[in-house]
Homo-oligomer: A and B are copies of this chain.
């Protein structure tokens, strides 16, 4: 099958741009017959074509060293002169999208609703018929049409709120199916959502990267996640090196990304790394939401220059941009100016002067064209008529241009979408293990994910370790918090005695110590929250399974939790004078470790559901306080009102608290109230010992049993009984605590499943 691909779709094999995976696979005869090989060779389905990529990959790596991979890797920069042989045309027609806005105390907050299909196209923000008193419909996109071609950059321009990002989202299929109207076609065929996911990439505006990894490491991890497993590590490294070259990041390759506390690469370099991560598999269509925002002019120019190189390697690049500088404008091939969701200009930057002078507002010499256009649009928006005149003018101007040029979609060289894609693939495009083409042919052998679970977990864990090892201060802070609290508890409850007061103090110590383990876990919340965004970006394009992430997240936490537990238990066990010797200590250590595990799972789960740090922290603190209140320490289990007993069983603190109490008091030989100590906590505590002894004697007589000053009156078991700790054994408490930890990890997984669908509705 691969031979078919090579013969039919690689017309360029002799040119300088020998593609990534096409070479030499005619030599390969080991390939088994494929289940779908019965399909006609002259008209294969797309699924078959994509499957071939997988085969080709396997072959390419099977071949070994003679594959001239490095030649393709420079394809981006050397391809400029070669005529484009795989023409792609993305056309979109009459894209419209509206949301309902709820009115609320005159302070509108945008709450989009699901079903607004029935409303039809509405104009502007004016209320339309059929809507309630409390909502207005706002049209974010109003019949936007245009087209983008491979080798070109299409830029969407407009003021804030004009609909730039919405249009990018609409094209990148980040708006739910029902809400968006209009058609999107690629090479004349309707562009399916799943197909788009396979052949495109979307670069978000924020740079969500691990701060302590170097540029090279960051891209290498992206390669490990996204490039097929069959590709050897050395080849992935070559691809990364070529990408670094293409992105102009050679000088920064060994520098860490950095954050507020750590000096790293510049903003422009960081942006290029973000782009690099998303194009590591060389997609056919690249969407970018304001890739230049926040960058200075030189950095912005270099980013767009990189985008131009990507386009010229055979991709369609579509981006929104706020206000391109003169030099950036020179790199853009097509512009769409939006104003309040409507097109006010669409065409080449070259035509801007003609367009605006035809409209009656010629651009003065020496004036920046886009600035002038944006200002004029803004002026019109402020005027009574709005931009209506310009919208109308644009329509007639487009019609004129169309009638002059004839239809524009006919000049794409006769290749159908499937042909074009398979040709692109054979040229080395779409080097992705994450092609997710299950959706297209469910039987296909190209896997949804590039790697198996174990490999994903290994890579994720390695990355996580690498990042945190370079930020020792984060673990240091947690260790410090645990050690300080441990030290205070150890000295405060130094060598507690076994008197009734001592018993009460032991209870207090245990309650406080068990809460501490949970509270210190809350310190990890910011790190988890930060990581979550990276996770969302990466899983959006199937870089790895969510389950692998959850598993590796839990796994990576263990070593540090063991260390924290050991520090805390060693610091307090002997200092407070707890019972049980080495075995007692071991259980004490285990239950503290279990608490840390449950607490960190709980905080991890919360990091999956709360939107930001402050709220998360407040919630953690409040819930832990309630856990402590209901643990059984403040009110024994048998005294908790029946309507609250369910919360007692939900309390995470209950289980470790009961476990340590049992560990402490279960020894039947240990005595806590002996002889005259029976009067210690009673009104008779103040009478002289001789009188107490006499009292004991008289009581002995009445009870008919001998009570001397050495008779044990209360054992540990009695104390457990008094505290209502009777329902679970200490080992069961341990298992329940561990189980809570796993439960919260599962809930975390579910929250990730539900929470990471970042589409508009």
Contacts and interface: CB of A to CB of B under 8 A. Distances in A.
Interface of A: 107-109, 159-160, 262-263, 296-298, 301, 322-323, 325-327, 366-368, 371, 374-375, 378, 481, 485, 488-489, 491-494, 501, 505, 508-509, 512, 516, 519, 523, 526, 613-614, 617-618, 621-622, 625-626, 629-630, 633-636, 639-641, 643-644, 673, 678, 681-685, 687, 691, 694-695, 697-699, 701-703, 713-714, 718, 722
A694 B683 contact: no
Contact of A673 (B367, B630, B636, B682): B682
Given A622-B481, A682-B714, A695-B702, A644 B107 contact: no
A288 to B, nearest CB: 18
Given A508-B634, A641-B491, A682 B678 contact: yes
A519 to B, nearest CB: 7
B682 A640 contact: no
Contacts of A722: 681, 685
A265 B698 CA distance: 86
B691 A695 contact: no
Nearest to A328: B371
A636 B323 contact: no
A691 B698 contact: no
B297 A713 contact: no
Nearest to A520: B622
B298 A375 contact: yes
Given A512-B629, A641-B494, A713-B683, A107 B263 contact: yes
Question: What 7 pairs across the A-B complex have the smallest Cβ distances?
Answer: A508-B634, A698-B698, A683-B713, A698-B702, A297-B323, A683-B714, A326-B368
Nearest to A685: B722
Contacts of A301: 375
A104 to B, nearest CB: 11
Contacts of A699: 695, 698-699
B673 A683 contact: yes
Contact of A366 (B263, B326, B378, B673): B326
Nearest to A722: B681
A618 B523 contact: yes
A723 to B, nearest CB: 11
28 contacts: A159-B296, A159-B298, A297-B323, A297-B374, A298-B375, A325-B368, A327-B368, A368-B368, A489-B629, A491-B641, A492-B629, A492-B630, A493-B635, A501-B636, A508-B633, A509-B634, A512-B629, A614-B614, A617-B618, A681-B681, A681-B722, A682-B713, A683-B718, A684-B703, A687-B703, A698-B698, A698-B701, A698-B702
Contact of A614 (B508, B526, B635): B526
A644 B629 CA distance: 26
A691 B702 CA distance: 8
A703 B159 CA distance: 93
Nearest to A509: B634
Main secondary structure of the interface of A (DSSP, over half): helix
Query: For the complex formed by this chain, how many copies does it contain in all?
Result: 2
A640 B643 CA distance: 37
Nearest to A110: B263
A492 B640 contact: yes
A501 B494 CA distance: 26
A374 B300 CA distance: 13
Given A263-B107, A699-B695, A296 B325 contact: no
Given A613-B614, A683-B713, A297 B508 contact: no
A488 B622 contact: no
B625 A519 contact: yes
Nearest to A624: B621
Contacts of A488: 626, 629
A376 to B, nearest CB: 10
Contacts of A641: 491-492, 494
A695 B326 CA distance: 101
Contacts of A297: 323, 371, 374-375
B512 A371 contact: no
A620 to B, nearest CB: 9
Nearest to A505: B635
A198 B160 CA distance: 39
A495 B160 CA distance: 59
A492 B635 contact: yes
A475 to B, nearest CB: 15
Contact of A326 (B371, B703, B714): B371
A678 B673 contact: no
Contacts of A296: 159-160, 322-323, 374
Nearest to A379: B298
B683 A508 contact: no
A485 B621 CA distance: 13
Contacts of A617: 614, 617-618
Contacts of A640: 492
B714 A108 contact: no
Contacts of A687: 703
Contact of A508 (B512, B635, B713): B635
Query: Which of A263, A644, A699 has the most C-beta atoms of chain B within 10 angstroms of its own C-beta?
Result: A699
A641 to B, nearest CB: 6
Given A159-B296, A698-B698, 5 more contacts: A297-B323, A508-B633, A617-B618, A684-B703, A698-B699
